[in-house]
């Protein structure tokens, strides 16, 4: 799992807080094995933890698995 969080999102403290929140949510998701890159737009720093969890909670349904 990798995160692409540009400086446009905010300073290092804000970007690191967002990265920690993303990691905490992703640990709970049951994603199929693979390589993932999560990109964040500047508005992502304004989301609450619950909003991030809700948004990323829809991710497994969007990930296509191949046998």
Question: What range defines the domain where residue 43 resides?
Answer: 2-62
Confidence of residue 64 (pLDDT cuts 50, 70, 90): low
Considering its fold, how many domains does the chain have in total? 1
Nearest to 14 by CA among 43, 39, 54: 43
The answer to whether 5 and 19 have CB atoms below 8 angstroms apart is yes
- Read off the pTM: 0.80
16 lies in some domain = yes
67 lies in some domain = no
Specify the pLDDT at position 40: 92
The answer to whether 44 and 10 have CB atoms below 8 angstroms apart is no
In this structure, what CATH number is given to the domain that contains residue 23? Answer: 3.30.230.10
- Each residue's pLDDT tens digit, 5-40: 999 999 999 999 999 999 999 888 877 888 889 999
Confidence of residue 65 (pLDDT cuts 50, 70, 90): low
12 lies in some domain = yes
Maximum CA pair distance of the chain? 41
50 lies in some domain = yes
């Amino acid at each position: 799992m990798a995160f692409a969080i540009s400086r446009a999102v905010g300073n290092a403290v804000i970007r690191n807080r967002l990265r920690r929140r993303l990691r905490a949510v992703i640990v709970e998701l049951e994603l199929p094995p693979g390589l993932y890159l999560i990109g964040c737009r500047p508005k992502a720093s304004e989301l609450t933890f619950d909003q991030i969890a809700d948004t990323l909670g829809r991710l497994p349904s969007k990930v296509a698995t191949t046998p």
